[in-house]
Amino acid sequence: MLTTIQHFFTTFSAPVVVPVILLLIARGLRIPWGTAVKSALAAGVGLTGFSWLIGAFTPLVTKLVHQLVNSAGIQRPVVDLGWQTGSLAAFGAPVGLTVFGFSLVFELLLFIFGITRVFMPANLWNNFGFMLWATMAYTVTHNLWLALGLAAFLILTTLLLAEIQAPAWSAYYQVPHATVAAVHNIEQVVPILILDPLFNRLGLDKCRFNPTHAQAKFGGLNDPLLLGALLGASLGILANFKRLTHLAAWGQINQFAIQLAAIMVLFPLVTQVFARAFTPLAAALDRHPTSPTAKRGAWFLAVDDGVGYGEATTLFAGMLLLPIMVLLALILPGNQTLPVVDLIALPFMIESIVALTRGNLVKIVLTSVIWFSLGLYASSWLAPIYTTTIAHYGTALPAGVILITSFNLVARPLNALFFAAFISANPLWIGLAVASYLIASGAFRRHRTQVWAYVARQAARNHA
């Protein structure tokens, strides 16, 4: 049955299932059929547009990343083969499919009983992250209950962090009543909440350079179109540094400059279409404050993090971090991981940091360098477990590759810490992890409005 459910969702995919869910919610809020259908279609069209743009851009960046890594001449025993390897293993393992069905029921119950205000079932595809961590835990312990316990714990912490960032994410990416809640891209809420007060003491809230501020200050000379082209050309030169005397190199440099500029210009247009789907939803909640959903207070629909991928600052910062992460992989003592394929996922990985700093580029880069450096060590430690899991449940490993990882899925310091607690099977460590969640969750639920106000104030300090 679980395989059938998984097959159903993967067959119809997000551009079909999300509009259906949105249509049901809209009708539940008594939005007229005509408006509800248009909203649902706008969501489907927006998700399709995101998929097309990211799908076209991904192979271009992947090729450039491989050239950049080869040009740097870095050799590490743990090679990043991308998140797709983890996804295949998650859906190929019996414990992964068990977690898939469990996640759907658990997330619905958490929303119905008010434990969370994030409606996660709208973004079921990202449940593969919980499935993967549980499968890795089962690979180590062969204990299904520990694996399910880890999955449940990660769902709870993910939804807590997603709710903490929800108003800031929704406001920054201009998608009303929406947030992202992927286990592999949400833990960055933690470091920016910790580091932001320190950054402000250092005066970094006044460092307001990003594509939006540059355009406002300098006009057309520094709009996302030109900044994208300049960054694209710079990355192209770095990737082709050893063959700049070849005409083909300059062809690729100029092509990537245009391609990056194009994605920075086109993506916001698709975002506008997608955001239209949520406008009637927000208006209905304002009109009907006594509706069943409104009684629980503000709530948020979990959307795919592809929604924010191409936002100007998000994409710019992600591309800027490409060579930085390659350099860090080279110089960090004791690091065994070489990020390659998942470097293209950097814009996904930094959305929470971008939203909580309102696009402060200096803070984004500094937070990413600190957190993802720790992530490289987490990935190096987890590589043998990840490799065994993929070999057993996923796909055959390429010839000559000893250890593999996914920089996006596994280079996660906080998730790795929780994973270590659960696979230890030590009640003390598991108890400490659970206690940390209960304390944080209880404090947030008691002071939700104050926390959101604090996050908003901190973010506003970065606004020009």
Tens-place pLDDT, residues 414-462: 999 999 999 999 999 999 999 999 999 999 999 999 999 999 999 999 8
Question: What per-residue confidence (pLDDT) applies to 292?
Answer: 44
Describe the crossing of helices 361-393 and 128-141 by its angle, rounded to 10 degrees. Answer: 50
Question: What per-residue confidence (pLDDT) applies to 462?
Answer: 87
Q: What is the pTM of this model?
A: 0.86
Q: Does position 148 have pLDDT exceeding 80, yes or no?
A: yes
DSSP-assigned beta bridge partners for residue 403:
78
> Which amino acid is residue 116, in one-letter code?
T
> Which amino acid is residue 239, in one-letter code?
A
195 band by pLDDT with thresholds 50, 70 and 90: very high
Tens-place pLDDT, residues 66-81: 888 887 777 788 989 8
Question: What per-residue confidence (pLDDT) applies to 211?
Answer: 66
Q: Of 87-101, 138-152, 284-298, 382-396, which gets the smallest average pLDDT?
A: 284-298
The neighbour count for residue 385, using CB atoms within 10 Å, is 17
Tens-place pLDDT, residues 156-166: 999 999 999 99
Average pLDDT estimate for 180-185: 92
> Residue 66 and residue 263: Cα distance in Å, rounded?
20
Average pLDDT estimate for 1-22: 70
CA 354, 193, 159, 421 dihedral sign is positive
Spell out the residues 6+ positions from residue 210 whose beta carbon is closer than 8 angstroms to its own: 312, 313, 316, 317, 359, 360, 361
Tens-place pLDDT, residues 291-317: 444 455 688 989 888 889 889 899 999
